[in-house]
Amino acid sequence: MRALLFVPADGGAKLDKAMASGADAVIIDLEDSITVERKEAARVACLDFLQRMQPQQNRPKLLVRINGFDTGMTDADLDAIVAGQPDAVVFPKAEGGATVTHLDAKLTAREALTGIPQGSIKILAQAVESAAGLFAAGDYLNSSPRLIGITWGPEDLSAELGAEANRDEHGQLTEPYRLARSICLYAAAAAKVPAIETVYVDFRNTEGLRRDTDDARRDGFTGRLAIHPAQVAVINAAFTPTPEQIDKAKAVVAAFAAQPGAGAVGIGGKMYDRPHLVRAKALLERVKP
């Protein structure tokens, strides 16, 4: 998944517009964008939207961001939306593999009650949104076969730290949040799942988004959360390999296939070793139809 676009669960026409935005995934939000007094109506709207959209062919993935365990509202969210068979839930303030295992159990029980095959609903963990989540980020491996990715969130983290801002006057992340971003990358690598970059809140700053997203791709992220449909095209472009990159990756794979015992191969006067092969295979896996 390249662009994952947030939309409030009670967003009405915004939900339909999100489906046509070109995003690879639409995240129906029951958490931050929904006030407490609107939660119940938003759950009803979410289920209705899922039931209407889920059968459609060639649609974006449908994810639902539920409320985290600390809110006491997780069970009510799951009770309301599992019957709509979302492709995944976004799990805010995940704090280690044990919390994902706990969520897995909650999903398993509700899948059984609604007749949905076990494991159908996956989990995208927002794993570095709190200080506790940062320190627990290394143990997601084997926490659940549902886990499909790890992302992070500087907004909640900066609120917990009491910070005035998480970016400087040039739009760059400040040191505490650069650390959190890096830990997200390492956590995803350790868990053997994709790392998804966080939102870029200055949604009118297209050039800033492009630079920031290019940096994310360079560093190892494979997709990005979006908060506005205008961000989708920029994010998709950044995470779509170019024909030149695809051809290069194919050449690396072919060269190692021709010399299966080699530790390194030469292509066009340059040497490529086994880590290059791993990256080439990962790139080609992302572009599979």
The CATH number given to whatever domain includes residue 229 is 3.20.20.60
Helix, strand and coil percent figures for the chain, each rounded to 5: 50, 15, 35
- Average pLDDT estimate for 26-45: 97
Of 5, 1, 59, the closest CA to residue 33 belongs to 5
| pLDDT above 70 for 289 | no
Q: Please report which confidence band the pLDDT of residue 195 belongs to, taking 50, 70 and 90 as the band edges.
A: very high
Q: Give residue-wise pLDDT tens across range 233-266.
A: 999 999 999 888 899 999 999 999 998 888 899 9
| pLDDT above 90 for 158 | yes
Q: Are residue 179 and residue 200 in the same domain, yes or no?
A: yes
Task: Domain of residue 255: give its range.
Answer: 243-286
Q: Give residue-wise pLDDT tens across range 84-131.
A: 999 999 999 999 999 999 999 999 999 999 999 999 999 999 999 999
Q: Are residue 68 and residue 139 in the same domain, yes or no?
A: yes
How far is Cα 55 from Cα 180, in angstroms, rounded to an integer?
38
| pLDDT above 80 for 280 | yes
State percent of the chain over pLDDT 90.
90
> In the 8-state DSSP scheme, what is residue 27?
E
Q: Are residue 178 and residue 271 in the same domain, yes or no?
A: no
